[in-house]
Structure 1
Amino acid sequence: MSAKPFNDTFLKACRHEPTEHVPVWYMRQAGRYQPEYRAIRAKYSFFEMNYIPEVCAEVTRLPVEQLGVDAAILFADIMTPLKPIGVDVNIESGVGPVIANPVKTLSDVQRLGELDPESHVPYIMEAIKILRQQLSVPLIGFAGAPFTLASYIIEGGPSKHYHKTKAFMYTQPEAWQALMDKLGEMTIRYLKAQIGAGAQAVQVFDSWVGALNDEDYRTYIAPVMHRIFSALKETGVPTIYFGVGAGHLLKEWDRLPVDVVGLDWRTSIRTARELGVTKVLQGNLDPTLLLAPWDMLEAKAKAILDEGTKQPGYIFNLGHGVFPDAKVETLQKLTRFIHSYRRDS
């Protein structure tokens, strides 16, 4: 067990409670910008780092110790639960997830299995248990959302326009609904298992759902997301929903039984509030600003903090993940600035 007192600032903010300082963590805070991560990655493939709980725990814990952030996020990939249900996926360097057996028909959907987290991904649960003994900050579990997972499964890998995915959605509604049902159930089981193992909050990444308009989101996506967050509500653990380029969907997200809405850098906190979003907000510094001169980075961060702290329930984060060109020292300085921030200063 960590000797440090437990820092629950992040959890308080998730619950709309006042905090002594603004909590901060960074999406993809474990990654290639860290020399220590690169040294570990040289020894193992991406999935191997997941398969060895001690390695997964070390990679997850490293940025907490290095940066001083207020939460850890489990080191894994949104593809992790797909392998056991029959998706032949591999993470290719410089490309991302590549699917050898993409879904094209209803029969392809029906051949996918059901996830049993305890037997299919026991290494994830073991890593969470190890981390709960080591961390003095909350541990965030996570999963990919059905649309984003479906986009990889149908496209066969990363896509810019998601033409195959949306065509599947429009032209094969029965198969699409079956896929949403299957992925929705998988997500619920996976996240409940993470919570059972000790995760104290969970984030659902719907990275590419911004490719849909609001009407299609309401029709094809909102029902499964409502089901997921309703099921997770039963656990009492805070939930976070995040997507990229999805500012036009914020009103839809505010109707979901989710606790925290994550914003990318395209939509300001002020704009989200003017749209009527009542949830706790998380975000939303453009990650590219990590390469800017410190004076500019500080000014941009302060502007976001000024907007975010106008009411309780705000968590500082980036508008997307840390990228390899970022510097550890910059993130350390940014974290110290956020922790020392006061509105009147």
Structure 2
Amino acid sequence: MARPQNDTFLRALLREPTDYTPVWLMRQAGRYLPEYCATRKQAGSFLNLCKNPRAACEVTLQPLERYDLDAAILFSDILTVPDAMGLGLYFAEGEGPRFERPLADEAAIKALKVPDPYGELKYVMDAVSEIRGALNNRVPLIGFSGSPYTLACYMVEGGSSDDYRKIKTMLYSRPDLLHHILAVTADAVTAYLNAQIDSGAQAVMIFDSWGGGLSAAAYQEFSLRYMERIVAGLKREKDGEKVPVIVFTKGGGLWLESIAAIGTDAVGLDWTIDLGEARRRVGDKVALQGNLDPSVLFAPAEVVAAEAVKVLASFDRPGPSNTGHVFNLGHGISQFTPPDVVKTLVDTVHAESRRRRQAA
């Protein structure tokens, strides 16, 4: 697995020297792009788009045709894993993802099994392979999965939730059942990410979207512990090249040191924590990814550029080494984002970070 022609993203994750700060955006292939909307309409549904490797490849590459991004991320969904476990994923109009058979009783929970990544999830591996071929080693490809706790939220609630009452009731009333769900799901995620690496992913990311809603003690026990288990089980090298791992807990700034200690190469940050403070807290233990507020992209272009410079400046410190930062949003890009302003963001990050490196 040779390094891509532009390997700045990988080098930043591994805290190696870079000429500039690399940038990619969570949910960079999405509804803010008219070409994505056209492909999705042609596919018939979001799920059809995810399960068609050729269409998934097409939308993965669309933002790279518009913007000078430093990485591609597999177009898929975090809920492919519980769908492959037999829970029956579907998308209700205006309601988001739902499961036909959420985990509502002990028998269903005990029957939960790790899906075969080359069986029920083969379409994902086919998409990874197809995307790698289409990229032609231009930039790295990121594979990903949801965290066990985040997946469990959907699996128990049956979909999105305002209060996570069902899973939190289980957490405090029957922690044994939730631990069983999390253990099986952690094994499933480990196998799933390793299969993505074998299929061509050059870095992987764990999205813990809902772990930040837990108490400090519950986060350690029910979210972080299982992400640490996954990280320990991942292939960290393929064909002589390192495969970096990024862990992102939305709302996880309070536990930054604990996240950095689980063996990950990088920690993703949302916009609620200062990047410089985060760097002071973790030192050079891990790279940091983030963390512009996605709502900044609704502002005029000059404001977007100024806010991007603030993020870069907050990471910087005196001295020769300003590596270890991957610029990103603090969460996924909004579907209402004007496409033109994204070019302003990407170009500003590249130009300003080059200037700051040269001036050091």
- Normalising by structure 2, what TM-score? 0.91
Larger displacement relative to structure 2 (249-258 or 212-221):
212-221
- Distance in 2 (alpha carbons) for counterparts of 1:69 and 1:91: 30
Q: Aligned pair 1:295/2:302, yes or no?
A: yes
Stretch moving more, 187-196 or 94-103: 94-103
Pairs within 5 Å for 1:63-142: 63-135=63-135, 136-142=138-144
Q: Is the 8 A contact 1:214 1:252 kept in 2?
A: no
Deviations 1:99-151 (A, max 9, x none): 22221333221222321011112111111111112211000000000010011
Equivalent residues in 2 for 1:1-345 (5 A)?
A: 6-44=5-43, 45-135=45-135, 136-232=138-234, 234-235=236-237, 236-276=242-282, 278-310=285-317, 311-341=322-352, 342-343=355-356, 344=359
- TM superposition shift of 1:336: 0.9
Distance 2:178 2:18 in 1: 43
Residue pair 1:290, 1:297 contacting (<8 A) in 2 also: yes
Deviates further, 248-257 or 54-63: 248-257
Mean CA deviation greater in 161-170 or 34-43: 161-170
- Taking structure 1 as reference, are residues 321 and 7 closer, same or farther at Cα in structure 2, changes over 3 Å only? same
Distance 1:163 1:275, change over 3 A: farther
Shift of 1:163: 2.0
2:125 aligned counterpart, secondary structure: helix
RMSD: 1.5
Any conservation in 1 of the 2:197–2:235 contact (CA below 8 Å)? no
Distance 1:62 1:222, change over 3 A: same
Aligned-partner Cα distance in 1 for 2:179–2:286: 28
Contact 2:5 2:139 in 1 (8 A): yes
Is the 1:233–1:257 contact (alpha carbons within 8 Å) kept by the matching residues of 2? Answer: no
- How far did 1:223 drift? 2.2
Whole-Å separation in 1 of the counterparts to 2:326 and 2:282: 18
Give secondary structure in 2 for the equivalent of 1:161: coil
% same residue:
40
CA deviation vs aligned residue, 1:19-73 (integer Å, no higher than 9, x gap): 1111000000001111101111112211111222111100001111211100000
Return the offset for 1:307.
Answer: 2.0
Matched to 1:74, the amino acid is L
How far apart, CA to CA, are the structure 1 residues paired with 2:350 and 2:53? Answer: 31
Give the paired residue count: 341
User: Structure 2 CA distance, aligned partners of 1:84 and 1:326?
Assistant: 32
Q: What letter corresponds to residue 22 of structure 1 in structure 2?
A: T
**Contact 2:149–2:222 (CA under 8 A) maintained in structure 1:** no
Whether the 8 Å contact between 2:260 and 2:266 is mirrored in structure 1 is no
Counterparts in 2 of 1:242 and 1:53: CA distance versus 1, 3 Å:
same
Q: Which amino acid aligns with 2:226?
A: V
Q: Please give the per-residue CA displacement for 1:217-241, whole angstroms capped at 9, x wherever unaligned.
A: 2222232111100111544410011
Q: 2:230, 2:163 → 1: CA distance?
A: 26
In structure 2, stretches of 5+ residues that fail to align are: none
* SS of residue paired to 2:267: strand
Question: Unpaired segments of 5 or more residues in structure 1?
Answer: none
Counterparts of 1:18 and 1:275, CA distance in 2: 21
Q: Distance in 2 between matches of 1:326 and 1:221?
A: 31
Residues 185-232 of structure 1 deviation map (CA, whole Å, 9 limit, x = unaligned): 000010000000000000100001000122112222232111100111
Of residues 240-249 and 67-76 in structure 1, the stretch that sits farther from structure 2 once superposed is 240-249
Q: TM-score, length-normalised on structure 1?
A: 0.95
Q: Is the 8 A contact 2:208 2:250 kept in 1?
A: yes
Whole-angstrom distance in 1 between the partners of 2:282 and 2:29 = 33
